[in-house]
Amino acid sequence: MLLESPLPVLLSWKDSSALVVAEAARVVEAVDPGEAEGLLSATTAASRVFILGQGRSGIALRALAMRLMHLGLCVHAVGDATAPAIAAGDRLLIASGSGRTPSALAAARSAIAAGVEVAVITAAPHSPLASLAPTVLVVPAAEKRDRSAQSSSQYAGSLFEQVLWLLGDGLFHALWQRSGLTADELWARHSNLE
């Protein structure tokens, strides 16, 4: 006789959303404040900031790039047709949960060869990418290939990407408060071609 497997517990949308929020809050709380301050300093010390991330990490970094532009920073997304050559005095900010994305590693090495310091946001502090950067912010979330459900019950790198977005908004908010700029001054830089 075959034993029936128990049916999986199906969470409601509300329960699933609560799980996502709880996991994200736990990880944000676990981020090292010194690493976050280091990223703030590295970002504001640069002549220009170039951002690089693939997939959903790239989308989250583009959101941060927009907010940095609102603050008046010169920001470029690597791969955009209008992104200029990177040079000494610039900063390359890369987000990679695994710290092993081939395009991110290649870009970091090219930037270093051009005299540029790299800053990395990753879930893998001992990764090849993290080893190339003097500024590393570790997001203690599961990497996208981690299927153990120990760090997160969510699929793939969802938790890393969610926290990346939240950290980006937190970093922006801290910089905005320190800038003394008003919301109206930031809004003047918002796209008027929408």
Residues 6+ apart with CB under 8 A from 92: 50, 51, 52, 78, 86, 107, 108, 111, 116, 117, 118, 119
CB atoms under 10 Å from CB of 15, counted, come to 11
> Is 4 annotated as catalytic?
no
Looking at the DSSP bridge assignments, the partners of residue 120 are 94, 136
The catalytic residue among 23, 35, 161, 194 is 161
Spatial separation of the C-alpha atoms in residues 58 and 26, rounded to whole Å:
22
Nearest to 112 by CA among 83, 86, 81: 86
Strand blocks (E) in the chain = 49-53, 75-77, 91-95, 117-122, 135-138
List active site positions. 161
